[in-house]
Chains A and B, each alone.
Chain A
Amino acid sequence: MIELIDTNSAEIAAELQRARVRAGSPAMGMVMTLVIVVEADDAEGAMRAARAASHEHPARVLGVILGDARGAAEIGAQVGTGSGWTGETALIRLKGEVVKHPESVVLPLLLPDSPVAVWWPNHPPADPANDPLGRLAQRRITDAAAAARGKTKAMQQQCRTYTVGNTDLAWTRITPWRALLAAALDQQPLRVTRASVTAERISPSADLLAAWLADRLKVDVERMSSSGPGITEVVLETREGPIRIARADGKLATFSSPGRPDRPVALKRRDLPELLAEELRRLDEDDVYAETTRRLLKMETAK
């Protein structure tokens, strides 16, 4: 890691280049740039998660810490290529006036002619697509569940400002649930009459899952509370009996369906690197998420 003090984009770019040559390989076959907008305290964890995810999708990872916007502009950076992974990182600290113009720092550092993803690990802008950094990206990743307070509001806000390219890790987290539920109906094509999702009282993922079920199945979906962790049960009622996936411990679920024996199934809550890697696998529009966000808003206003 090289520490740059009182620096600018050109110097950071030059240092990235030098670091690559030092690592012995000026071409690293990176496929995208990942920008992380993060608080100083959370920067290390976020960068670590991004590095892990970039094993699957080699990326230039640019961490941006937006400091206090008062005073004279000041830019500091930590630049490095990791050993043991393909990709490179720069953690950039902005202070003073430049905090209002972070895109001017990031734009020159984007890899040429390749996609850009931006991730806000905790404090997403209200409208990511109109954020100065968000505008640079094809993929804008928020995480409503990481909000310290008002997670539910945060999710609704993201749904309201949904634009092509937006996504939220609350949605990513439920992919395994959705896959299992879809598989259940593949196996027994029963007509669902009613459904319920039980989870911690506050859970953006559970709200999205309920909205997705309501949108796809066109039935009422009840949202019930438990003490978690996360989502603990999903039930699809059918005339033949319920299809139920219950997971009490966040790891192992029991799968029950009409006329079949109960079966255990691994359904572990996934870590950040896995979630990020899933997000970065496809950068085109996620139509199903778009429809789910619209449904969630409708369900909220209907309440």
Chain B
Amino acid sequence: MSAKEIGNPLRDPRDRRMPRIAGPCGMVLFGVTGDLSRKKIMPAIYDLANRGLLPPGFSLTGFARRDWADQDFAQIVHDSVKAHARTEFREEVWQQLAEGFRFVPGNFDDDLAFDRLRRTIEELDELRGTGGNHAFYLAIPPGFFGDVVGQLNEHGLARPRTESWRRVVIEKPFGHDLQSARELQDILGDVFPSDSIFRIDHYLGKETVQNILAMRFANEMFEPIWNSNYVDHVQITMAEDIGIGGRAGYYDGIGAARDVIQNHLLQLLSLVAMEEPTSFDARALRIEKQKVLSSVTLPRRLDLTTARGQYAAGWAGGVKVPGFLEEEGIKRTSTTETYAAVTLNVETRRWAGVPFYLRTGKRLGRRVTEVAIVFKRAPHLPFADASTEELGQNALVIRIQPDEGVTLRFGSKVPGTQMEIRDVNMDFVYGGAFTESSPEAYERLILDVLLGDPPLFPRHEEVELSWQILDPVLEFWARQDEKGKAKPEHYESGTWGPASADAMLARDGRVWRRP
């Protein structure tokens, strides 16, 4: 049967020009005054509208404890769009989008407010044709997820009528350890089915991250060497040059490992290390990601294979900055780490004996996220020792941000010498495409939420597996704190982290790349 005979006659799988437009729907945004809403979500919604990817009549309802009218809310969105949207501001796009703005004032424990919210949504269905389809975006501290989800349930907002949907969108952190992640899942799962819960890990919305799968599985030349026969080790780095900024309340007690390793870095690890999925649909991808995450193990001696640190005062990029313990809102005695590094093993035939080193930190040398596959040295070098002194190990580096692309590092003869060999880099950048004209990660993910397209969202199984990996490390650090045995080691701001992290690799005879 040809595609024409089934379903929508205007659809044809061969018609790949057609952009995906979400069906009729609306979004309810909790936490509209927050950082995330203003910097990411609202601008992304405007950009989507500007690209013509939102359905006609799309509506955005804000919920916050402010005494605002719809226009006040529209003003907030307007300002944030002007400040942060990536596409050109067009009055007519704004006008049609703004017609769909509503505001509901209230606290999370306010039954009347949620009643009003229900009525607002019903009105939108009536007036703007949102068709009973609504996504609830919880851009609020996770401590309130339970309250809000409970209210949505109680006021009948979580249950869709037939042929419509209700979805909930949450941001990290997804708990702070395995147990709390399970509790969070219980709270959400009581009200929303698994496939209606969308967890945003914005890294997965990035073109370069999706390109990892294209690179690995669409090419013949990488896969044969993508294993322990050729790979010596893998380094996954997410470095920030900034400190904790004004987010002491959020950060203290959480720390770098929970904030970044548990989600972003382990997701990257799973994409780099997984086996080929049978297809690129959500289920097939999830199976492979879960498989690889369940095969991750920690080394026995965590004192030798992990490292943690806190940034100390110093000069970062030419600016004098305070240390973590001097930041406002941080206790002098805080043992929260701002740098974390762990060694992981992936117990599969492909990766046996290949360590994965994951590190993340604040106030490091520069802002960069990358995955480096570092290859073994050539088994035999038919050159004199002296001529290969400058030759390091070959590496394939997937640059995730800020200059997105791929770098290949290999040895090359130094021109003009007799036979001097040194490392050179070959860079690939797909023009400005990865950064400019392609939708930003949040745009892609929000559109996927509205379309109900799940491959780029981690499910609770993946979240729990990740905590299973990380929990022993966190417990080990906590025990060291209790015993007063060891504390996060201070590192000077603007450098590449504590000495213990270097020592951790040195024990294995390796060094960190300077990214």
Show the binding face of A for B, using Cβ within 8 Å: 27, 29, 31, 54-58, 85-87, 172, 175-176, 178-183, 185-187, 189, 192, 213, 216-218, 249, 251-253, 255, 257, 260-261, 263-268, 277-278, 282, 286-288
Is A182 within 8 A of B129, CB to CB?
A: no
Q: A55-B436, A56-B436, A185-B10 are in contact. Are A266 and B49 (CB under 8 A)?
A: yes
Q: When the two chains form their complex, are residues A189 and B7 in contact, meaning their CB atoms are under 8 A apart? A: yes
In whole angstroms, how far apart are the Cα atoms of A181 and B97 in the complex? 20
Task: Provide the bound-state CA to CA distance between A121 and B24, in Å.
Answer: 38
| Residue from B14, B19, B52 having most chain A Cβ neighbours under 10 A | B52
Q: Across the interface, name the chain A residue whose C-beta is closest to B11.
A: A182
B514 within 8 A of partner (CB):
no
- Are B56 and A277 interface neighbours, CB within 8 A? no
Q: Which of A56, A192, A267 contacts B431 (CB 8 A)?
A: A56
Q: State in angstroms the CA–CA spacing of A183 and B90 once bound together.
A: 23
In the bound complex, CA of A27 to CA of B99 (Å): 48
User: Would A85 and B96 count as touching, CB distance under 8 A?
Assistant: no
- Contact at A57–B8, with CB atoms within 8 Å? no
A-B pairs with beta carbons under 8 Å apart, 11 shown = A31-B430, A55-B436, A175-B19, A180-B56, A183-B21, A186-B11, A261-B128, A266-B50, A277-B437, A286-B17, A287-B12
Whether B10 pairs with A264 at a CB distance below 8 angstroms is no
Residue numbers in B under 8 Å from A278 (CB-CB):
17
In contact, A176 and B52 (Cβ under 8 angstroms)? yes
B56 touching A263, Cβ below 8 Å: yes
CA distance A86 to B431 in the complex (A): 6
Name A's interface SS. mixed
Query: B67 in the interface, Cβ–Cβ < 8 Å?
Result: no
B327 to chain A, nearest CB (A): 38
CB distance from B432 to the nearest CB of A (A): 5
Cα–Cα, bound, A253→B7 (Å): 26
B16 within 8 A of A: yes
**Distance to closest chain A CB from B286 (angstroms):** 26
Q: Are B129 and A179 in contact (CB under 8 A)?
A: no
Q: A55-B431, A56-B431, A261-B57 are in contact. List 12 more A-B contacts (CB 8 A).
A: A55-B432, A58-B430, A85-B432, A87-B431, A179-B18, A182-B10, A185-B10, A251-B90, A260-B129, A263-B56, A266-B96, A278-B17
Tell me the complex Cα distance, A217–B9, Å.
6
A179 & B92 in contact (Cβ 8 Å cutoff): no
Closest to B53 in A: A179
Question: Within 8 Å CB of B99, what residues of A?
Answer: 264
CB pair B126–A261 under 8 Å, yes or no, is: yes
Closest Cβ of chain A: how far from B275's Cβ, in Å?
Answer: 29
B123-167 interface bits toward A, Cβ cutoff 8 Å, 1 = contact, 0 = none: 000111101000000000000000000000000000000000000
**Residue B433 at the chain A interface, CB threshold 8 Å:** yes
Which residues, 86 to 141 on B, are CB-close (under 8 Å) to A?
90, 92-93, 95-97, 99, 126-129, 131
Q: Provide the bound-state CA to CA distance between A189 and B9, in Å.
A: 9
Name the CB-closest residue of A to B57: A263
**Chain A proximity of B332: nearest CB distance (Å):** 48
What is the CB-to-nearest-CB distance from A54 to chain B, in angstroms, rounded to a whole number? 7
- Taking a contact as CB atoms closer than 8 A, the residue among B8, B129, B432 that contacts A189 in the complex is B8
**Most A CB atoms within 10 A — which of B16, B57, B90, B431?**
B431
Q: Which residues of A contact B92 (CB under 8 A)?
A: 249, 251-252, 266, 268
Contacts of A253 in B (CB 8 A): 56
> Nearest chain B CB to A272's CB is how many angstroms away?
14
Contact A55 B10 (CB under 8 A): no
B429 lies within 8 A of A86 (CB): yes
What is the CB-to-nearest-CB distance from B45 to chain A, in angstroms, rounded to a whole number?
13
Question: Are A29 and B429 within 8 A (Cβ)?
Answer: yes
Q: Does B353 contact A (CB under 8 A)?
A: no
User: Nearest chain A CB to B44's CB is how many angstroms away?
Assistant: 16
Give 1 or 0 for each of B244-276: 1 = CB within 8 Å of chain A CB: 000000000000000000000000000000000
Contacts of B12 in A (CB 8 A): 216, 287-288
B222 at the interface (CB under 8 A from A): no
B15 close to A261 (CB less than 8 A): no
Cβ-defined partner of B129 (8 Å) among A86, A175, A263, A286 = A263
| Cβ contacts under 8 Å, A257 to chain B | 129
From the candidates B18, B127, B427, name the one contacting A182 in the complex (CB within 8 A). B18
B515 at the interface (CB under 8 A from A): no
| Bound complex: CA A226 to CA B56 (Å) | 24
User: Which B residues touch A58, using CB under 8 A?
Assistant: 430-431, 433
State A178–B15 Cα separation when bound (angstroms): 10
Q: Does B428 contact A (CB under 8 A)?
A: yes
Contact A255 B56, CB 8 Å, known A57-B433, A178-B18: yes
- Assess whether A265 is in contact with B56, with CB atoms less than 8 Å apart: yes
B15 touches A288 (CB 8 A): yes
Closest Cβ–Cβ distance, residue A120 to chain B (whole Å): 20
A167 and B168 alpha carbons, distance in the complex (Å):
42
**A175 to B21 CA separation, bound complex (whole angstroms):** 12
- Residue of A31, A86, A265 near B432 (CB, 8 A) is A86
Quick one: given A263-B129, A282-B16, are A29 and B428 in contact (CB under 8 Å)?
yes
B55's nearest neighbour on chain A, judged by CB, is: A183
- Which residues of B are found within 8 Å of A287, using beta-carbon distances? 12, 14-15
Give the CA-CA distance A267 to B10 in the complex, in Å.
Answer: 19
A54 to B7, CA, bound (A): 37
